[in-house]
Amino acid sequence: MSEKKKVLMVCLGNICRSPIAEGVFQHITKEKGLSSQWMVDSAAVAGYHIGKSPDHRALLTMKNQGISYNNKARQVSQKDFETFDFIFGMDEENISDLKGMANQNPNCKATIGLLGDYDPEGERIIRDPYYDSGAEGFKKCYQQCLRSCTAFLEQHS
Ligand code: 4NP
């Protein structure tokens, strides 16, 4: 069997958006019978929340959609650029930080881009819902991730 294609979801803290993107990707690859072809992980640009579980609102949003999630936050490393085929940021700042890191790595093999570039509804930026008090921002993030991950898988599987 050929090696799995590897996708890394990245946001600033790895406690809200990128865990949701990872959970959604994992969930739909399983649903579509594609788990043997894809590996997904997530990571942070910043180191504020290393070792922590996702924000409780992110966990609740996933739970409401039947998605279980057990990963803990970690920071992006140089090795990630050599390991992953696709590295997706959630906003332009993530992309700028990721490209800055990739430029320092002559062995970078990853394609870096916005996850939202795959959104058929054209909502390219997945905004940070961390400072929103309600669940709406998290639900919106989930819906954006679902649309984009579904379209990405249709194009690459
Ligand atoms: P995320 O959200 O990047 O979607 O995980 C954030 C969570 C925490 C912080 C920033 C963004 N923070 O500054 O603590």
Q: What is the pLDDT of residues 21-69, one digit of tens each?
A: 999 999 999 999 999 999 999 999 999 999 999 999 999 999 999 999 9
pLDDT tens digit sequence for 130-152: 987 678 999 999 999 999 999 99
Q: What is the number of domains present in the chain?
A: 1
C-alpha of residue 58 to centroid of ligand 1, in Å:
11
Ligand 1, atom 12, residue with closest C-alpha: 13
Instruction: Look up the domain containing 66 and give its range.
Output: 5-156
- Does ligand 1 lie within 6 Å of residue 11's CB atom? yes
Q: In sequence order, what are the beta bridge partners of 9?
A: 42, 88
- Alpha-carbon dihedral sign for residues 45, 46, 47, 49: negative
- Element containing residue 4 per DSSP (H, E): none
C-alpha to C-alpha distance for 67 and 59, rounded to whole angstroms: 9
17 among known catalytic residues:
yes
pLDDT for 157 equals 85
- Does ligand 1 lie within 6 Å of residue 130's CB atom? yes
User: Which of 7, 43, 35, 10 has the alpha carbon at shortest distance from 149?
Assistant: 7
Residue to substitute in 10, 49, 138 for testing ligand 1 pocket (most ligand atoms within 8 angstroms of CB): 49
What number is the average pLDDT over the span 64-93? 98
CATH code: domain of residue 93? 3.40.50.2300
C-alpha to C-alpha distance for 65 and 20, rounded to whole angstroms: 11
Distance, C-alpha 155 to centroid of its chain = 17
Which position among 80, 91, 119, 128 bears the catalytic label? 128
11 among known catalytic residues:
yes
C-alpha to C-alpha distance for 81 and 100, rounded to whole angstroms: 11
